[in-house]
Chain A
Amino acid sequence: MKDDKSKSELNYKDLTQSDKDLVAKLVRGGFSRREVLKLSMVTGVSLVAAEHLLFDGKAAIAATPKKGGSVRVAIDLHGPNDQTDPMQFTSGIDYARGRAVYSSLIQHANDLTPQPELAETFEPNSNATEWTFKLRKGVEWHDGSKFTADDVVYSMNRHLTEDSTSTIKSVMASVKEWKKLGSHEVKAVMHSPNADLPTLLGIFQNKIIKNGSKGDWIGTGPFTMESFEPGVKSVHKRNENYWREGAHLDACEITAITDPVARVNAVIAGDVDMIARVDPKAYRQVDSAEGVTLTSIPAASQLGICILKNTKPGENDDFVKGMQYIQDRERIVKRVLKGRGTVGNDTPISPAHGKDWCGELPQRPYDPDKAKFHFKKSGYSSAELHVAPVTSGIEDTCLLAQANCAKIGFDLQLKKVPNDGYWGAVWMKEPMNVVTWNMRPTANSQMAIQFGPGGNWNDTFWNNARMGELLSLSLAETDPAKRHKLYCEMQTLIHEGSGMVIPAFSNISDAIRDNVMGVPTVPLGSNGAAEWPEFIWLA
């Protein structure tokens, strides 16, 4: 393969999945000589061939972003409940619109480090009980008025009031109060030290809105809202008065196509330029389509099965072990997620969390004999699992578990329930149910949300005092090695003791037309966690 002939023979389509992901990443992020070298080493082809590979079909990639043009982006869900108030954003389409129109104090980079946005600097005091933010000057709202500290204090304190209807009220609960220090300086006074506060400020609901408003689509973001029809579409024009360089596109339209088959067909037919969430069933279709690339960004979107520890059958540890050993994790990744995912180890932390992931923890294998042993010891011969399509692949994961259970004589009954009403009526109520969580920007917040003792969303009702201690200890710990040790102890606790079954994590898989460039890869959600509006351009 090391001769020139391989140039014409080796094509993108012949590569393995991980190599394809690498190429796609390189092509989208722009690539240096070093990365070409890396690709050639990984795929075992010559440098020339590697280079050819990268340029294969991508000749149009310009080194510098081009201005102009308009894109149409289709998310997966929308309806009359599309929100205007960032505080109540719940779905991908809200996040995308929010990113286009509003700004945050902090923005997530692709590797999840906090970057300055409306806050130019952010500094904690010595023990992280207070954070001071210097705000950007000269920023204007879309209606021409000036952005000041009053807007920030108003926007951020809305999450904290007693009767707040914010969807992230408990996420922000470590902040006691936001105070104005000057016209462009604010301070967050904490209840408890939190070294991760800046990262939290980058999440979707933490948008800065005008003092006294409810959002109302007046923001400081790269695009203005031209028209907004809930459940139909929104149309945006470039904000010519943006405080940064500004968006590359002249305009964009954000809509949704709820049917997964139709959504994929629309991007392949070229009717939309980018879609969120490709169903694993359609991976092959997108892969083989001309002019469309399937992104595959490793993330920590868990396919989770919650077994409640405070009731039958989950209070029995052997039952939980049985459910964990019956998961054919490799096969779930291969069969259900078609290779675009990571094997899970019954903890919510995935390799996508980087150094916070505990690789030392032995991987729990698929072991029908052990599962049989534990089920037998537990005394249960059947159980009921409530399944809703909360994330793609979860139903099929449960189907596979059901088939494997049947082989060892255990009757796992699946009860399929609709998605709407699921979070209120089934999740955290039925003894066994399914769950997914968007990846959180820090390992600490990822574990705190599900496993903090007595927390609102402790969805297996597993209350471990040591876990609570470790959560606060790790927040205050600044030494990376010690921190990793603490995180590893937490993951081991969850792996051994909780009622959580996490057989796999799915990658974020979106389809993007090849002329759309510069889509960020922030792993917190689809389309670079909706960070695309400011950064994409058309080749």
Chain B
Amino acid sequence: MTEQVASKKEEEVLAELDSFAELPDAPPKRKFRLSWVGWLSVGIVVFWLLICVIGPTVAPFHEMDMEGDDSFLDAYSGEYGTFYLGTDYLGRDTYSRILFGARNTIGISLAATLLAYLMGITLGILAAVKGGWIDMGISRVNDAILALPTIMLGLIVIAALGSSIPILIGTAAVIYATSVFRIARALGQDIMVQDYVEAAATRGEGIWWIIRAEVLPNAAMPLATDFGLRLVFVVLFISSLSFLGLGVQPPASDWGSMVRENLQGLTYGSYAAIWPALAIASFTIAINLIVDDISAKSGGSLAKKMV
């Protein structure tokens, strides 16, 4: 899948940038300032997060209601209520399903990304700090998972364990933890050889103190920039599972499956597939623009480490 590659790309870029970076003597402290595009994006993200919470209460229909008289209706008011965005292939209200689906699409991808970060950073820094056989072992397994197509890994896990939401989150988290692991490990290795870390070690500080006080703060910025993109890849990963007929359990809606199941409506002028696609795009583009903004405004953070 594209997201896998992109994740690797991003991580390779960062790792590469970092491989010839010379860090300043102390973790840089800076304030983030956003442009208007950034603020607009923050607004969109906050909006969707709000929908995650209140979506089911404000939706005019339940996500499983098939009240429309026919499939792929245009927006209209019928005896049951108003279909603001028309109905989907089974006559369910697209607008309500998008409101309901936000929880799943955003919730799953946020949870999976956070979990991926937790696992990736823990293992990555462990590998960097401990080195030797531990590093060798974790790295080979990590490479092996990276080398296999994400969709195949998802297919196997879900076919074996079923596609409940915790399993979806776990699967996506493991797959994307591999990329986080590589960034964290590369950053950790870089930081470990810095003078101030060596100084701390000679002062007799313990390994956990070094990780907490020196390694993590220095690795935080590059990892944060990566977070947004990773989230996007998880959203796309979940939607690509829907292509294979997996994904969240019915009647729950997620945006990716909604695009997939209504694709055929495009041929007769139904927008039932377009709206969820726009929802995905608005959320993921907003996240990316925030990321862009942060890295541009704090542009020095990465680049100043170079040369």
Residues in A lying within 8 Å of B, measured CB to CB: 261, 264, 279, 281-282, 284-285, 288, 335-336, 338, 387, 389, 395-396, 398-400, 402-403, 406, 414-421
Contacts and interface: CB of A to CB of B under 8 A. Distances in A.
B251 A399 contact: yes
A275 to B, nearest CB: 14
Given A282-B264, A284-B268, A285-B264, A400 B158 contact: no
Contacts of A284: 72, 268
Contact of A403 (B66, B71, B264): B66
Contacts of B268: 284-285, 288
Interface string B2-23: 0000000000000000000000
Contacts of A417: 162-163
A281 B263 CA distance: 9
Contacts of B118: none
B57 interface: no
Given A399-B64, A414-B249, A418-B245, 19 more contacts: A261-B263, A281-B261, A281-B264, A285-B267, A288-B268, A335-B71, A387-B250, A389-B245, A398-B250, A402-B64, A403-B64, A403-B66, A406-B62, A406-B64, A414-B250, A415-B249, A418-B155, A418-B244, A420-B159
Contacts, number: 66
A421 B159 contact: yes
21 contacts: A261-B264, A281-B89, A281-B261, A281-B265, A284-B268, A285-B268, A288-B268, A335-B66, A335-B70, A399-B64, A399-B90, A399-B251, A402-B250, A402-B251, A403-B64, A403-B65, A414-B249, A416-B246, A416-B249, A418-B158, A418-B159
B69 to A, nearest CB: 9
A398 B90 CA distance: 12
B27 interface: no
Tell me the dominant secondary structure on chain B's binding face.
loop
Nearest to A403: B64
Interface in B87-124: 89-91
Contact of B264 (A279, A416, A419, A420): A279
B92 to A, nearest CB: 9
Nearest to B155: A418
Interface string B66-90: 1000111000000000000000011
B250 A395 contact: yes
Contacts of B159: 418, 420-421
Contacts of B249: 414-416
A264 B267 CA distance: 11
Given A288-B268, A335-B66, A414 B251 contact: yes
A336 B66 CA distance: 11
A398 B261 CA distance: 16
Interface in B243-283: 244-246, 249-251, 261, 263-265, 267-268
Contacts of A399: 64, 66, 90, 250-251
Given A279-B264, A395-B250, A415 B65 contact: no
Contacts of A419: 245
Interface of B: 62, 64-66, 70-72, 89-91, 155, 158-159, 162-163, 244-246, 249-251, 261, 263-265, 267-268
A335 B264 contact: no
Nearest to A286: B267
Contacts of B263: 261
Nearest to B62: A406
Contacts of A418: 155, 158-159, 244-246
A289 to B, nearest CB: 8
Contacts of A414: 249-251
Nearest to A283: B264
Contacts of B158: 418
A403 B61 CA distance: 12
Contacts of A420: 159
Contacts of B246: 416, 418
Nearest to B72: A284
A284 B72 CA distance: 11
B145 to A, nearest CB: 21
The 4 A-B pairs of least Cβ separation, nearest first, read A285-B267, A281-B264, A403-B64, A414-B250
A394 to B, nearest CB: 12
A394 B163 CA distance: 18
B90 to A, nearest CB: 6
Contacts of B163: 416-417
Contacts of B91: 335
Most buried by A among B64, B91, B265: B64
Which of B62, B244, B251, B267 is the most central at the interface, judged by chain A CB atoms within 10 Å of its CB? B267
Nearest to A404: B66
B71 A416 contact: no
Nearest to A289: B267
A389 B243 CA distance: 13
A141 B245 CA distance: 43
Contacts of A402: 64, 250-251
Nearest to B164: A415
Nearest to A422: B159
Contacts of A264: 264
Contacts of A395: 250
Contacts of A335: 66, 70-71, 90-91
Nearest to B263: A261
A396 B90 contact: yes
Contacts of B267: 282, 285
Contacts of A281: 71, 89, 261, 264-265
A387 B249 CA distance: 10
Contact of B250 (A282, A406, A416): A416
A416 B245 CA distance: 9
Contacts of B62: 406
Contacts of B245: 389, 416, 418-419
B103 to A, nearest CB: 18
Nearest to A405: B64
A115 B54 CA distance: 65
A137 to B, nearest CB: 51
A517 to B, nearest CB: 26
Nearest to A288: B268
A261 B260 CA distance: 10
Nearest to B64: A403
A332 to B, nearest CB: 11
A39 B118 CA distance: 70
A266 to B, nearest CB: 13
Nearest to B261: A281
